Amino acid sequence: MKEKLAIEGGTPVLKRNDYKNWPVVNEETRFFVNETMESGIFAGGTAPQVTSLEKEWAEYLGVKHCLTTCSGTAALHMALSAIGAGPGDEIITSAFTFLASASCAIHQNAIPVFVDIDKRTYNMDPAKLEAAITERTKAIIPVHIQGLPADMDPILEIAKKHNLFVIEDACQAHGATYKGRKVGTIGHIAAFSLNNFKNLSGGEGGFFVTNDETLLRKGSLIRCFGDEVDEVSHRRKYNASILGYMYRNQELPAAFTRGQLKHLDEYNDTRISNAGYLTERIGKIPGVVPPYRPDDCKHVYFMYNVRFNPEEAGVKCTPREFRTAVEKALYMEGVLVGQWQTMPVPAQDIFQSKLGYGGSSYPWSVNESRGIRYDYNVDNYPVARDLCDNYTIVHGVHTPNGKDLMEKIASAFEKVFGDISTVMEHVDDNIFPGADGKLYGAA
């Protein structure tokens, strides 16, 4: 006899406390945080923890320069400012990403343009990139989505041909590699996030990295009000030469990050083995599509993305209905699942209304007043649109969760798919799967 599904009142496969929290407070993290507390130094662009962290991250990646920032979003904005993007410029990014990959363009008074994604990698589809380029394009921002590197070679080739900057949004892919090269070392500048959930966590924070001396100089001015610094005394002159912001990190998050960095590769290895185990088991279930990884890439599984296919599961309904029903049944079994982005970024209200600064149509108006149209119709991004119908995120692949938890998650999948017609009867139930606030702190 089939085991009764939790959604029908049966016993859930998992309990909430089967899941362990992220990030892990390890010994080194405590050490560096304590060291900071004892030092009495908590701030400053050249203070000891931020300076050490910048050096350690540059070494880890094998890049020349790194600046810590208060967020990944700030690092992206600094990057666009450093390359001189401005009103009327277009910045190309992926349609399936976090808002910040696109809003950084608006923050720089430029206009985001989106490219649809590849069906298997969910990264920007290089085959669709060239069609998005105009004489106004200034930069391309490929995003290494969910821990998988974007296909950089064709992107770089196209960028070179059109004389464009490439800024890697590496906020989700610390330690991932593309053809043996670490992401964040491939474009002109890269941005990393250190927010709580990311593979390398500082609570909050970010990195701006580059091999280019000029871009570094600009980045460091922009990070601190555009304020010139005396080369000999290293004192601020309180004389801003360019428009800047206050995007510095702080000593405590930097100290925290340093402790995390000591274990980044090991933590990534756990994600990889947990993901491998899940893929091995749930990948065998008809209708379950585990994440894809090209052979020449190291995927670091910031998120473990699963898609559902009703037809392959032998169910007649829309992909959205099927995904919703399966999410509910899994959630009731105790599996933490739920969507991250629920729509392609261009489908968000701000792009539909094109209302920016002060509720005006600026910055789009710069070009629209000259007859250039920006069409953010979601049907222009059919692959991203379809993905948002039928994917969910299976949470918990991070350390210290291990095989025990993965076994239970896989068993819950098998249980749910073993009784799929019952699952479909509950498609309209009032259950809202999503990341558990306490465990994952969905803001």
Which stretches of the chain bind ligand PLP, using CB under 6 A? 71-73, 97-98, 100-101, 143, 169, 171-172, 193, 195, 206
Distance of closest approach, residue 339 Cβ to ligand PLP, in angstroms = 14
- For 192, the enclosing helix (H) or strand (E) is strand 189-193
> Please, is 407 exposed, middle or buried when counting C-beta atoms within 10 Å of its C-beta (0-12, 13-18, 19+)?
middle
Q: Please identify, using beta-carbon distances, which residue of 14 and 124 lies nearer to ligand PLP.
A: 124
Q: DSSP label at 336?
A: -
For residue 286, count other CB atoms closer than 10 A to its CB.
Answer: 11
Q: How far is CA 162 from CA 127, 140, 321, 338, 435, in A?
A: 15, 11, 43, 39, 42
Residues in a beta bridge with 201 = none
Q: Please identify, using beta-carbon distances, which residue of 173 and 315 lies nearer to ligand PLP.
A: 173
Count of CA atoms in the C-beta half-sphere (13 A) of 104: 29
Helical H segments across 181-313, by residue range: 213-223, 251-261, 264-282
Q: Please identify, using beta-carbon distances, which residue of 277 and 440 lies nearer to ligand PLP.
A: 440
Q: Please identify, using beta-carbon distances, which residue of 98 and 331 lies nearer to ligand PLP.
A: 98
Distance of closest approach, residue 241 Cβ to ligand PLP, in angstroms = 26
Q: Please identify, using beta-carbon distances, which residue of 49 and 324 lies nearer to ligand PLP.
A: 49
Distance of closest approach, residue 211 Cβ to ligand PLP, in angstroms = 21
Q: Please identify, using beta-carbon distances, which residue of 100 and 297 lies nearer to ligand PLP.
A: 100
Q: Please identify, using beta-carbon distances, which residue of 85 and 285 lies nearer to ligand PLP.
A: 85
Distance of closest approach, residue 207 Cβ to ligand PLP, in angstroms = 10
Q: Please identify, using beta-carbon distances, which residue of 142 and 319 lies nearer to ligand PLP.
A: 142
What are 240's two structure tokens?
């801003």
Q: Please identify, using beta-carbon distances, which residue of 72 and 338 lies nearer to ligand PLP.
A: 72
Q: DSSP label at 435?
A: -
Distance of closest approach, residue 112 Cβ to ligand PLP, in angstroms = 13
What are 40's two structure tokens?
């009495």
Distance of closest approach, residue 101 Cβ to ligand PLP, in angstroms = 5
Distance of closest approach, residue 143 Cβ to ligand PLP, in angstroms = 5
The secondary structure of the chain in percent helix, strand, coil, rounded to multiples of 5, reads 40, 15, 45
Count of CA atoms in the C-beta half-sphere (13 A) of 383: 17
What are the residues whose beta carbons fall under 8 Å from the beta carbon of 87, sequence distance 6 or more?
109, 110, 363, 366
Distance of closest approach, residue 286 Cβ to ligand PLP, in angstroms = 31
**Residue number closest to ligand PLP, CB atom:** 72
Q: Please identify, using beta-carbon distances, which residue of 274 and 341 lies nearer to ligand PLP.
A: 341
What are the residues whose beta carbons fall under 8 Å from the beta carbon of 25, sequence distance 6 or more?
none
Q: How many Å apart are CA 241 and CA 226, to the nearest integer? A: 6
Distance of closest approach, residue 173 Cβ to ligand PLP, in angstroms = 9
Q: Please identify, using beta-carbon distances, which residue of 93 and 367 lies nearer to ligand PLP.
A: 93
Distance of closest approach, residue 15 Cβ to ligand PLP, in angstroms = 29
Q: In what order do the strands lie in the sheet with 337-338?
A: 288-289, 305-308, 391-394, 337-338
Distance of closest approach, residue 18 Cβ to ligand PLP, in angstroms = 26
- For 140, the enclosing helix (H) or strand (E) is strand 137-141
> Please, is 107 exposed, middle or buried when counting C-beta atoms within 10 Å of its C-beta (0-12, 13-18, 19+)?
buried
Instruction: Please state the length of the chain.
Output: 443
Q: How far is CA 338 from CA 25, 145, 390, 394, 436, in A?
A: 26, 17, 11, 7, 10
